[in-house]
Copies of this chain bind each other. A is one copy, B any other.
Amino acid sequence: MTVTRAYHHGDLPRALLAAAVAAIEESGPAALSLRDLARRAGVSHAAPTHHFGDKAGLLTALAVEGFDLLAAALTAAGDDLLDVGVAYVDFAVSHRAHFEVMFRPDLYRADTPEVRAARERAGAALHLGVAALPPHRAEPGESRTDALAAWSIVHGFATLWLSGALPPDIDADPRAAARTVIRHLIPPP
């Protein structure tokens, strides 16, 4: 006799991560409860701990998944810095649970090799967009601060939007507002 479950046997980790995303989108990563996740998945209270070691382990897995998703989204956006920047903000908006965890290293183990590798993949994808910029300034090392400025402006816009600090009319269409904001950084041709 087969037991009816919400997940295929052996796929508890995936189900738990999905439940964690839903829970974080509801009430933030600080209020995440392992026992609540177990309840949602219909397993005992200690099942999550077995698969992820502890709470930080679960959030580490979520962060890795997030950096990989971000890398894929940025790569798919192409070479234009404007498109890549909008894709960054779009990722934060449409994957806010992942994004909120990714940049809160006190919640997980950010120094794991897997996390480091996934983060570097995302960073490389972001740099591709910056590299397509015309080298209008001849100063050495300028492209590095170019990248840092681009990263800062899209990351700042994304986190401000996530924290609800932006006025309501921007809340309505963050992607369009992001495009306008990023344009301020790119010199007119």
> Which residues of A does B touch, CB under 8 Å?
27-31, 103-107, 110, 119, 145-146, 148-149, 151-160, 163-166, 170, 177, 180-181, 184-185, 187
Q: Contacts of A164 on B, CB cut-off 8 Å?
A: 105, 110
Contact between B31 and A106, CB atoms less than 8 A apart: yes
Q: Contacts of A187 on B, CB cut-off 8 Å?
A: 187
The copy count of this chain in the complex is 2
Contact between A30 and B145, CB atoms less than 8 A apart: no
Contact between B103 and A181, CB atoms less than 8 A apart: no
CB distance from A144 to the nearest CB of B (A): 9
Q: Could you say which of A103, A107, A154 has the most chain B C-beta atoms within 10 Å of its C-beta? A: A103
Q: Contacts of A152 on B, CB cut-off 8 Å?
A: 152-154, 156-157, 160, 181
Can you show 18 pairs from A to B with CB atoms below 8 A apart?
A: A28-B106, A29-B30, A30-B104, A31-B106, A103-B160, A103-B163, A104-B163, A119-B165, A145-B181, A145-B184, A151-B156, A152-B152, A152-B153, A152-B160, A155-B160, A156-B157, A156-B158, A159-B159
Contact between A149 and B181, CB atoms less than 8 A apart: yes
Closest to A158 in B: B156
Known: A145-B180, A152-B181. A106 touches B159 (CB 8 A): no
Given contacts A148-B157, A148-B170, A152-B154, list 14 more A-B pairs with CB under 8 A: A27-B106, A30-B107, A31-B106, A103-B163, A105-B163, A105-B164, A145-B180, A148-B177, A148-B181, A152-B152, A152-B153, A156-B156, A156-B157, A156-B158
Contact between B155 and A149, CB atoms less than 8 A apart: no
* Bound: A158/B163 CA distance, A: 15
* Bound: A153/B148 CA distance, A: 10
Q: Contacts of A165 on B, CB cut-off 8 Å?
A: 103, 119
